[in-house]
Amino acid sequence: MRQPSLDTEITRLSDARTLAPLSAATAIAQDLLIALRQAKHVVVFTGAGVSAESGIPTFRDALTGLWERFDAEDLATPNAFRKDKDLVWGWYEWRRMKVLMAQPNPAHLAIAALARHVAKLTVITQNVDDLHERAGSTDVLHLHGSLHQPRCASCGQAHHLPAAIPEEPEGGRRLSPPVCDHCGGPVRPGVVWFGEDLPARQLHLAQQQAQACDLFFTIGTSGLVYPAAHIPVLAKQAGAQVVQINPSKTPLDDVCTWSLQGAAGTVLPRLMESAGFDHSA
């Protein structure tokens, strides 16, 4: 039966020229459900869109994305930190506060639940929050670091932040970074800025897992930032079928077998239900 409230559309891209998109309420593509039920190794690759429904802003969405309001050049490069440490540290403390106040949403929970239904599931995220872990996913590969693991900018020693949630104004404020216990250098956010290498081990494992899986989900990412954006392509080239979940089109459309247009927090639970998988916490 049709449920008009669901605006999700599911299109098998190979059929897109000849078939109108099917409403998700009418039918989730049967061949996708079969692929999901039969998959031996599933990789879930996520971007900021997965945390959007937890109230964490994405980067590039029109009106709501961080880069609409803030200049990445001033905040998310090594040069920005060299130039104005207080501006950068204060902005990231505001971001960290937002994450600490947020809760995992149905998309994070469905991904964690999916691990109970497939022989092997690997989560690869570009996100710097810990919402996958708080939803119950384990061994998450973080390609762009973490807001929760700051380190010394001089000697690299990990810095432990107080457990309390910081109280920061909307958009952040100028705030001096803590100093390193070991060498007295400035502490920096533990994220990967533009022009910096991704953590080598995490990137290597992510590429390896992508090339070993049979079903690869790319969820809530614009697919614009490299080298992460190449990972779905590697999966496809190695023979995996690729599923995209995103309300918008992305450059990754071309590598996808199925594109599920909609919010991850709606589409993923529906997909789980259609496959007969329990997705309660």
Answer yes or no: are the C-beta atoms of 244 and 260 closer than 8 Å.
Answer: yes
Residue 154: which of ligand BJW, Zn ion, none does it interact with, CB under 5 to 8 A by kind? Zn ion
The least CB distance from residue 4 to ligand BJW, in Å, is 20
Choice among 108, 132, 142, 144 that is catalytic: 144
Nearer to ligand BJW, 5 or 18 (CB): 5
DSSP 158: B
Residue 152: which of Zn ion, ligand BJW, none does it interact with, CB under 5 to 8 A by kind? Zn ion
48 binds Zn ion (CB under 5 A): no
8: closest CA among 271, 256, 263?
Answer: 263
Length of the chain: 281
Q: Which residue is nearest to ligand BJW (CB)?
A: 49
Does the N-terminal peptide bond of residue 227 adopt cis geometry, omega within 30 degrees of 0? yes
Binding site for ligand BJW (CB under 6 A): 47-49, 52-53, 58-61, 65, 76, 126, 128, 144, 191-197, 220-222, 224-227, 245-248, 250, 263-265
The least CB distance from residue 77 to ligand BJW, in Å, is 9
The least CB distance from residue 200 to Zn ion, in Å, is 21
Identify whether 144 is a catalytic site residue.
yes
- H/E stretch holding 11 reads strand 9-12
178 binds Zn ion (CB under 5 A): no
42: left (phi over 0), alpha (psi -120 to 50) or beta: beta
Output the six-digit token pair for 58.
Answer: 């994405």
Structure-token match 């029109």, residue found: 62
Catalytic residues: 144
